[in-house]
Amino acid sequence: MIDRYTRPEMGALWSDESKFSTWLEVELAVVAAQGKLGIIAPDIVSDIKKKAKFDLERIKIIEEDVKHDVIAFLTSVSESVGENSRFVHLGLTSSDVVDTALALTLVRAGKIIARELDNLYQAVLLQARKHKNTVTIGRSHGIHAEPTTFGFKMAVWLAELERHKHRLSEAIKIISVGQMSGPVGTYSNISPEVESLTCEILGLTPALISTQIIQRDRHAQYVWTLAAIGSSLDKFATEIRHLQRTDVLEAEEPFSVKQKGSSAMPHKRNPVGSENISGLARILRANSLAALENIVLWHERDISHSSVERVIMPDSTILIDYMLHRFSKIMTDLVVYPDNMQKNADVFGGVIYSQAVMLKLIDKGLSREQAYKMVQDNAMKAWNQNAGNFKQNLLADKQVQEHLSKSEIEDCFRPENYLKNIEKVLNRLGV
Residue 164 is classified by DSSP as H
Is 176 part of the annotated catalytic residue set?
no
Residue 238's contacts (CB-CB under 8 Å, 6 or more residues apart) are 274, 278
Catalytic choice (140, 141, 256, 299): 141
Contact 114, 169 (CB under 8 A): yes
Is 262 part of the annotated catalytic residue set?
yes
Residue 303 is classified by DSSP as S
Which residue type is seen at 389? N
Catalytic choice (15, 21, 262, 367): 262
Which residue type is seen at 416? E
Contact 144, 352 (CB under 8 A): yes
∠ Cα 196 200 204 (to 5°): 95
Contact 223, 230 (CB under 8 A): no
Radius of gyration of the chain (CA): 30
Picking from 355, 325, 276, the residue whose alpha carbon sits closest to that of residue 9 is 325
Using CA atoms, how far apart are residues 207 and 230, in angstroms rounded to an integer? Answer: 28
Query: From residue 165, how far is each of 172, 261, 266, 421 by CA, in Å?
Result: 11, 34, 41, 27
Query: From residue 303, how far is each of 99, 289, 294, 422 by CA, in Å?
Result: 12, 17, 9, 53
Contact 370, 355 (CB under 8 A): no
HSE-CB at 215 with a 13 A cutoff on CA atoms is: 10
Using CA atoms, how far apart are residues 276 and 318, in angstroms rounded to an integer? Answer: 14
Q: Is residue 229 within a helix (H) or strand (E), and if so which, with residue range? A: helix 217-243
One-letter-per-residue 3-state SS of 230-277? HHHHHHHHHHHHHHCCCCCCCEECCCCCCCCCCCCCCCCCCCHHHHHH
Residues forming the active site: 141, 262
